[in-house]
Amino acid sequence: MPLTGLKVLDFGRYIAGPYCAALLADYGAHVIRVEAPDGNDDRYTVPVAADGSGAMFLQMNRNKRCLTLKPGTPEGREIVRRLVARADVVIANLPHDALLKLGLDFDSLSAINPRIIVAAASAFGREGPLAERVGFDAVGQAMSGSVHLTGTQDQPFRAQVNYVDFGTALHCAFGIMLALRERGVSGKGQLVSGSLFATALAMTNALTIDHALNGIERQPLGNRAYSSGPTDLFRTRDGWIVTQIVGTPIFRRWAELVGRPELNDDPRFASDMLRGDNGEELSAIMQNWCSARTSEMAIVELAAARVPAAPVVKPADALAHPQVAAMGIVEPSAYPGTPVPAPVIRAPIELSASAKAPAAPAPQLGEHTHAILSELGYDAETISALREASII
């Protein structure tokens, strides 16, 4: 496994930090999740287990060990010092002032271990008027322009999937890989900084470039697209489907399929941008075609014509498709107190010559505290005293 031997301390919360650490754990890193003695809030989001552990927690914290700790206490700081002295990477998605307060900032940690790599993800970065503000995924979505462009003129919508959080986790994992490569040359660690706002802006950058260079203030189009068509959602006799018609060859095949070959010679539809500009008419044609078919009938015909399309499915049905089984990406994870194993999806990539670490479920609260402290040199009596004082 590529990351075997890499030691990671995960002080993360919710998604951006924990998912970054989970990706490293998937490929062999030894990750310790550091959690409050009574559990972090993110452990209990959307509870699915008897102990209150939630769906997001089971996904974000697979293949980790759990140490409960109050890192802000003198005893807690000493435990952190010992952990950092042995570690390669520290991950924390907290504002810079919170990192300073806990002694988890890069200057403090590099004084303990000059080889340490610290990945710090915040809402707005380390500098600027918003640097100390807190925020979650929706804040990044809203301030990047994405929410304004989603929905209708009367009602913008945010995405239910926390793509800004996940994107920040991925960028931080990428930054950690870069820092590890550099450390192999210099022998020194460094700070990897990520933010929700920067991630969100990176993902909407084509639209902001469009405005900066073309001066066009795009407005919400519902489910249509600005630069292609008919890209939209369509109601069928028994549900909904989506099509994404990008590129002239696909558009030509679509026009033939829906019985409108003359559209290929219509100057209003001569390019992707023009098809986006005139997408309302194209969507009306496609909606008429879909109204006479079930979702399955429509998808079969579109697939035969090699036109990108898919049914709109509920989360309850998403994992039931035979393609999911064929891809082998779901790994059932048995956590105590769940009615059935959780269908966890780990890093959705495969390396041709490197396997993932064997799957392990998310840890119970404090499951590995005694073992980890023993490895740091604490004896049983001291560990009991720390527990009695609610330090761990």
- pLDDT tens per residue, range 12-44: 999 999 999 999 999 999 999 999 999 999 999
- Could you tell me where the beta strands, DSSP code E, fall in 218-370? 232-235, 240-243, 309-311, 330-333, 342-345
Give the mean model confidence (pLDDT) for residues 303-318. Answer: 97
pLDDT band at 96; cut points 50, 70, 90? confident
The whole-number pLDDT of residue 362 equals 98
Cβ-contact 379, 386 below 8 angstroms: no
| Three-class DSSP category at 309 | strand
Tokens of 345: 């999806």
Please state the φ and ψ torsions of residue 305, each to the nearest 5 degrees: -90, 5
- pLDDT tens per residue, range 179-199: 999 999 999 999 999 999 999
Task: Give me the percent of the chain exceeding a pLDDT of 90.
Answer: 95
**Burial of 192 from C-beta contacts in 10 A (0-12 / 13-18 / 19+):** buried
**Burial of 114 from C-beta contacts in 10 A (0-12 / 13-18 / 19+):** exposed
**CA 179/CA 156 separation, integer angstroms:** 39
From 67, 10, 56, 3, select the one nearest 357 (Cα to Cα): 3
| Three-class DSSP category at 135 | coil
> What's the pTM?
0.94
pLDDT band at 132; cut points 50, 70, 90? confident
* Residue 126: pLDDT over 90: no
* Residue 151: pLDDT over 90: no
pLDDT band at 204; cut points 50, 70, 90? very high
From 286, 293, 157, 300, select the one nearest 234 (Cα to Cα): 286
Q: At what angle do helices 196-203 and 205-214 cross, to 10 degrees?
A: 60
**CA 229/CA 277 separation, integer angstroms:** 8
Give the mean model confidence (pLDDT) for residues 267-284. Answer: 97
Beta bridge pairs of residue 195: 122
**CA 183/CA 370 separation, integer angstroms:** 32
Domains and CATH numbers, the chain: 7-203+326-389 (3.40.50.10540), 230-312 (3.30.1540.10)
Q: At what angle do helices 163-186 and 196-203 cross, to 10 degrees?
A: 110
Average pLDDT for the chain: 96
- pLDDT tens per residue, range 206-256: 999 999 999 988 999 999 999 999 999 999 999 999 999 999 999 999 999
